[in-house]
Amino acid sequence: MTGAVVPFSKNILRKKRRANWLASAVEGARWIQQGMRHTFCSNWLAVHRDINELVLQSGHDNVETMWRRYHRGTKKSVAEKFWEIKPQVVDTSKIVPFQQTA
């Protein structure tokens, strides 16, 4: 397969992303680079304690870097609360069932 996934150039996508950030940010808020990935990794490691599995899941290739970055990134009790966050189910017709649990 060839071609762009979306019909926008990199510059247009960058402008759209910045506009979205400005529209959703509280005044003075700062977006953390890779914040969602860091949040996932810190909370996952705090609960599961398996750095090798986290390296595989995240696509990294260096266990030591991952350990330095995410070990003690958050407390287990806080991470457990994070994983309890679930979206409200309003329309169950839009839920796609999975064959296996994660």
Output the pLDDT for position 89.
73
Nearest CA to 54 out of 79, 78, 71 is that of: 71
Could you report the per-residue pLDDT of 26-60, keeping only the tens digit for each? 776 777 778 888 999 999 999 999 999 999 998 88
**Cα→Cα distances 69→50, 55, 75, Å:** 14, 12, 14
Tell me the one-letter amino acid at 18. Answer: R
pLDDT at 61 over 90: no
Q: How far apart are the C-alpha atoms of 94 and 73, rounded to whole Å?
A: 34
Tell me which residue has tokens 């705090």.
46
Residue 81, Cβ neighbours under 10 Å: how many?
A: 12
Could you report the per-residue pLDDT of 5-34, keeping only the tens digit for each? 778 888 999 999 888 877 877 776 777 778
pLDDT at 102 over 70: no
What are the structural domain ranges in the chain? 32-85
pLDDT at 1 over 70: no
